[in-house]
C-alpha cells in the first residue's frame, strides 16, 4: 500500500525538442510500505496532439509511454465523465 506525501510541479517554458509544444515535470514523494520513494514524472505535449510520459524513481528503472492524440482525448473524456 502506498500513500501520497507531496507533489511539486515545474512547467518548462523553453521547450526545444522537435515535436514538443509544452512540457512539465512532477516530483512526487510517496510512502510505500513504510519506505519513502521519490518519483519524477515528465509529461510532454506533442505537436501532433499526442502525449509522451516518462517516469523514473530513485529505486528503479525508467519507464516511458507515448499516447496518440485519440487515446489522450479518450482518457480526458473518461476523466471528465466521472
Delimit the domains of the chain by residue range: 2-81
Q: Is a pLDDT exceeding 90 seen at residue 13?
A: no
pLDDT at 17: 67
**Would you give the DSSP letter of residue 13?**
S
Distance CA 57, CA 60 (A): 5
Cell triple for 47: 505537436
DSSP tally for the chain: helices H, then strands E: 1, 5
Residue 63, CA atoms < 13 Å, CB-side half-sphere: 9
Q: Report the residue count for the chain.
A: 82
> Could you report the per-residue pLDDT of 14-56, keeping only the tens digit for each?
666 688 888 999 999 988 888 888 989 999 999 888 999 999 9
Cell triple for 55: 517516469
The reported pTM is: 0.74
Amino acid at each position: 500500500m502506498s500513500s501520497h506525501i507531496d507533489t511539486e510541479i515545474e512547467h518548462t517554458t523553453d521547450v526545444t525538442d522537435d515535436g514538443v509544444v509544452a512540457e512539465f515535470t512532477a516530483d512526487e514523494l510517496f510512502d510505500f510500505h513504510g519506505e519513502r520513494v521519490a518519483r519524477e514524472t515528465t509529461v510532454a505535449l506533442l505537436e501532433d496532439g499526442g502525449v509522451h510520459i516518462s517516469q523514473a524513481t530513485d529505486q528503479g528503472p525508467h519507464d516511458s509511454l507515448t499516447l496518440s492524440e485519440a487515446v489522450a482525448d479518450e482518457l480526458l473524456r473518461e476523466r471528465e465523465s466521472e
